[in-house]
Structure formats: C-alpha cells, structure tokens
Amino acid sequence: MSQQDKEQFPSIGEQSKGLVDLLKKTISDSMEGNPVLVTEFERDRRLDKCRACDSFQAKSQRCKECGCYMTHKTQFHAAECPLEKW
C-alpha cells in the first residue's frame, strides 16, 4: 500500500474490523434464511450513490470512509454505507 493510500483510507485494522463485521452479519442473514446478496437493481442504486459521493475514489473504486471496494461491498445485503447514504 502506498503512503498516499495510508493517508486516504482507514488503517488496515479498521478496514479488517469492518470486513469481519460484514462477514458476521452476512453469515447471520444466511443462517436465518435471508438473502445474502441484493438485486442487481439495488446494487446499481447503491453504487450510483457511492459514485456521486465526495468520499468515493473513482480510480480505485474505494470509499475513503471505510476503505472498501464499493463494486463488491454494494452487493451484500448486510452492507451499510458508513455515511448512511444507502
């Protein structure tokens, strides 16, 4: 990871915690019989909101708030925007 990335995104520890939390919620949803992934329409709606946000880094497709790759995160039902935009 470049020095610029270290300054732009949350620490690896914070990003790891976010990933673990998402995995826990996703496993819980799955065990309860709830959908794991959102529809293509919902994924596109979420990603459109991300792309319009000042915290979205177009080059890397990542969010400066959570450090996630938004093309992936927006697919998960349990995922949440750290700025509560979706």
Using CA of residue 61, residue 21, residue 46, residue 43, what is the dihedral sign?
positive
Of 38, 72, 73, 69, the residue nearest 56 (C-alpha):
69
| Residue pointed to by tokens 């790891």 | 16
Tens of pLDDT, residues 27-44 = 999 999 999 999 999 999
Contacts of 44 (CB under 8 A, 6+ apart): none
Q: The whole model's pTM is what? A: 0.86
Q: Which two tokens stand for residue 7?
A: 């300054």
Tens of pLDDT, residues 13-72 = 999 999 999 999 999 999 999 999 999 999 999 999 999 999 999 999 999 999 999 999
The whole-angstrom separation of Cα 41 and Cα 21 is 24
